[in-house]
Amino acid sequence: MYNILKTCAILVLLFEVLPGCQKARIEPGDDAPDFSLKDIAGQEIKLHDYRGRIVLLIFWGDCCADFSTAFPRLQLIYEKLHLQNVEFLAVNAGQPKNLPVYYADEYDITFPMLADEMADVAFLYKIRSLPTTVMISEQGKVIDVLIGWPTEEYLQDMISSKRQTQ
């Protein structure tokens, strides 16, 4: 329990105190900053390799509310949306790299789970709370930023409205 509280305190420091002089957050229409992180198998994952697909960046930590129920639900949504050219990248921010491995195994997750141990990518995206979901277009532009876990209805609505404007 102490480790979870310590991790949450570090995340608050990283996301609430340090970003003070920057633009408040990334916004729809912004270019999605490119990054490279390793997945749980040690493979390097680069955001620009997903151009041409809608990407959902899900920034999370194990101190997030309801993460134990969110991941099984996200896996079911992913199985449907992956067929519609949508990719999920779950970015564990500011925690040891073994946590995504554990939770991927625990919840049978098949979408990429990435370790952002120093929260560099979370900082790059100006993430101020966990979980935060960033939807990125096929062209690499931010479509939406959602504080919290995405629902299937939210994702379907965002994808439909995005595709109707093309």
Q: Which residues pair with 142 in a beta bridge?
A: 136
Asked whether 143 and 136 are in contact (CB, 8 A), the reply is yes
Whether the predicted pLDDT of 123 surpasses 70:
yes
The tokens for 130 are 């966990």
Domains of the chain: 2-164 (3.40.30.10)
The tokens for 74 are 């996200």
Across 134-154, average pLDDT: 95
Can you list the pairs that 41-47 forms with residues at least 24 positions away whose Cβ atoms lie under 8 Å? 45/89, 45/112, 45/114, 47/89, 47/136, 47/140
**Could you report the per-residue pLDDT of 14-57, keeping only the tens digit for each?**
555 444 445 568 999 999 999 999 999 999 999 999 999 999 99
Structure confidence at residue 164 as a pLDDT band (50, 70, 90): low
**Could you report the per-residue pLDDT of 100-121, keeping only the tens digit for each?**
888 899 999 999 999 999 999 9
Asked whether 123 and 117 are in contact (CB, 8 A), the reply is no
**pTM greater than 0.75:** yes
∠ CA 145-151-155, nearest 5°, is 60
**Could you report the per-residue pLDDT of 60-98, keeping only the tens digit for each?**
998 876 878 899 999 999 999 999 999 999 999 999 988
The residues near 88 (Cβ < 8 Å, ≥ 6 apart) are 55, 56, 58, 74, 78, 81, 82, 111, 112
Q: What are phi and psi of 32, to 5 degrees?
A: -75, 120
